Amino acid sequence: MDNEILKALRTRRSVRAFKAEQISDDELRAVLDAGTYAPTGMNRQDPWIVAVQDPTIISQLVRMNSMFTEQEGNPYYDAPTIVLVFCSRPDIWPNGFADGTLVLGNMMNAAHAIGLGSCWINRERQMFDTDEGRQLMSQLRLPEGLMGVGALALGYPAKPLPPARPRKENYYRIVK
Ligand SMILES: Cc1cc2nc3c(=O)[nH]c(=O)nc-3n(C[C@H](O)[C@H](O)[C@H](O)COP(=O)(O)O)c2cc1C
């Protein structure tokens, strides 16, 4: 069985090299909108999505993220847009983190479906659990009680996408 959606799900790859050119507002909104249609526990639509294109804030995110990784270079791969996803802390809403990961997944697949490249970038949980992180959340006009889930580096891919690595054996089983 096959169709365009299934093909897009199979061919999306993490993109780690981006053109400097900024994506259009229409493209950005298409990706963000897809994120908002991710399923959420009890339809609370708990996650908060912040797309950052401001170079000063992007530099700050690069610096903050680099503090939690040994990785060389820009952990967001010089993407012109960084999309941050936050959720309520587990004491406030236990499904928040799971909700946020689905938002990120929807946005990655939507980005691929319209020809953009994206890569999930980790460490937002640690970054936003610092004084600087809390200050930045307040600067981004987010409410209290949130935590970082993850981020997307987003932009036009600078290189063709590689094929997917083979899937592991016995990834799924069907029990009837
Ligand atoms: C929870 C999670 C965290 C990830 N963190 C990073 C990251 O910090 N940096 C990065 O380059 N890729 C990151 N990735 C991307 C994975 O490395 C990538 O999805 C995986 O290698 C499979 O490749 P594909 O997305 O091209 O299929 C992350 C992916 C997930 C789901």
For the domain that residue 101 is a member of, what is the CATH number?
3.40.109.10
List 140's β-bridge partners, or say none: none
120 lines ligand 1 (CB under 6 A): yes
**pLDDT value at position 91?**
97
Task: Pull the structure tokens for residue 109.
Answer: 């697949």
**pLDDT value at position 60?**
98
In a domain, 22, yes or no: no
Give the total number of structural domains in the chain.
Answer: 1
**pLDDT value at position 102?**
98
In a domain, 171, yes or no: no
List 77's β-bridge partners, or say none: none
Which regions of the chain are under pLDDT 50?
none
**pLDDT value at position 62?**
98
In a domain, 5, yes or no: no
Task: Pull the structure tokens for residue 17.
Answer: 């090299």
112 lines ligand 1 (CB under 6 A): no
**pLDDT value at position 29?**
98
- Cα–ligand 1 centroid distance for 3 (angstroms): 25
Residue for token pair 């953009």:
116
- Supply the pTM of this predicted model: 0.98
101 lines ligand 1 (CB under 6 A): no
**pLDDT value at position 119?**
98
**pLDDT value at position 8?**
96
| Crossing angle for the helix pair 131-139 and 55-66, to the nearest 10 degrees | 160
In a domain, 15, yes or no: no
Residue numbers of the domain that contains 149 = 38-155
In a domain, 168, yes or no: no
Cα-Cα-Cα-Cα torsion 96, 18, 64, 85, nearest 10 degrees, comes to -10
**pLDDT value at position 68?**
97
Q: Which of 85, 119, 152 to mutate to test the pocket of ligand 1 (most atoms within 8 A of CB)?
A: 119
Q: How far apart are CA 128 and CA 113, in angstroms?
A: 30
| Ligand 1 atom nearest to 123, measured from its CA | 8
**pLDDT value at position 160?**
97
In a domain, 73, yes or no: yes
**pLDDT value at position 25?**
98
If you take atom 30 of ligand 1, which residue's CA is the nearest one?
120
